[in-house]
Structure 1
Amino acid sequence: MGNKLLTFTEQQLENYQDCTFFTRKEILRRLRVHKKFREIRPDLVPKRMRQNEQVTIRVPLEDVVEKLPELRENPFKQRICEVFSRDGKGNLSFEDILDLLSVFSEQAPRDIKVYYAFKIYDFDNDRHIGTEDLDSALVLLMRQELSPEDRQQIIEKVIEEADVDGDGKLSFMEFEHVITRAPDFLSTFHIRI
């Protein structure tokens, strides 16, 4: 890469390496993430961002899900943005996008992926995955192809199989137990840029 494309200081690159699962080489390759971030809203994102702007400049959720190709076809795109946004509304800063891509990278540890998968499925943010959360996930996954009765049967079966303590919802530990029995789940929990 030529110096022309370098938009971060040496210290900023080291900081990103310390707080993500990316190697230095990957961070340098991900400088194109800044370019992508800027392309989402060039009127909002400057070519060179000062350190505070990497957190304070936020691209609106609607623009991210429409213009970021890595999320465009994902049925959970809005929920993913909400989980990774520091404002909780899905508006993403550059650092929010780096966090998102870091967690979805192949190098991210399994326990981090499970943690964020749980957060994504916990639509109401009550630290449990209940019947409403499962219904929301099914609606997104099946794009309204299942009747409410079919969704209810699936939800009941999931709760029956995974709810160890019998409280009608899944705790993080119960969710983690289910995920360890479904190795394909984590192999699909990544985004390529």
Structure 2
Amino acid sequence: MFSTMPGNLTFEDFLDMMSVFSEAAPRDIKAWYAFRIYDLDDDMYIGREDLLEATRLLTKGELHAQEREEIVASVLDEADVDGDGRLSFMDFEHVVVRAPDFLSTFHIRV
């Protein structure tokens, strides 16, 4: 997917990354990139800490810690199919398939 050197992005990597935001990109490719965006610690799971940090970033720090904890608990309760306390790609994809607006909103119009 990306070059092996952390912090380095080849032009080909950049083109691959940007192509996922095309309206014509397949759902499975979009789901994979969305999953990788939320896997902040790059461990191939979206864990509690990833979700806490994502809620902090997405809300610009305007939620209290308790509110963020409640959101994370709700997300894990809804999406953690195998009950291991974190979202694997399969868990994440299961949610994306049920979200009819995912394809129409995960894109960039130029």
Same fold judged by TM-score > 0.5?
yes
Residue by residue over 1:93-152, the C-alpha shift from the partner in whole angstroms, topping out at 9 and shown as x without a partner, is 322221122111111111011011111111111111110111121112111111111000
Identity of aligned residues (%): 61
Supply the AA of the counterpart residue of 2:37: I
Give me the CA root mean square deviation. 1.6
Supply the AA of the counterpart residue of 2:19: S
**5+ residue gaps in structure 2?**
none
Q: 2:52 aligned to 117, 135, 149, which one?
A: 135
Give yes or no for contact 2:23–2:103 (8 Å, CA) kept in 1: no
Equivalent pairs counted in the alignment come to 109
Supply the AA of the counterpart residue of 2:94: H
TM-score of the pair, normalised by structure 2: 0.88
Partner of 2:65: 148
Partner of 1:164: 81
User: Greater relative contact order (Cα 8 A, min sep 6): structure 1 or 2?
Assistant: 2
Q: 2:18 aligned to 95, 101, 121, which one?
A: 101
Structure with higher Rg: it is 1
Partner of 2:6: 88
Matched, 1:112 2:29: yes
Write the distance in 2 (CA, Å) between the matches of 1:146 and 1:154: 10
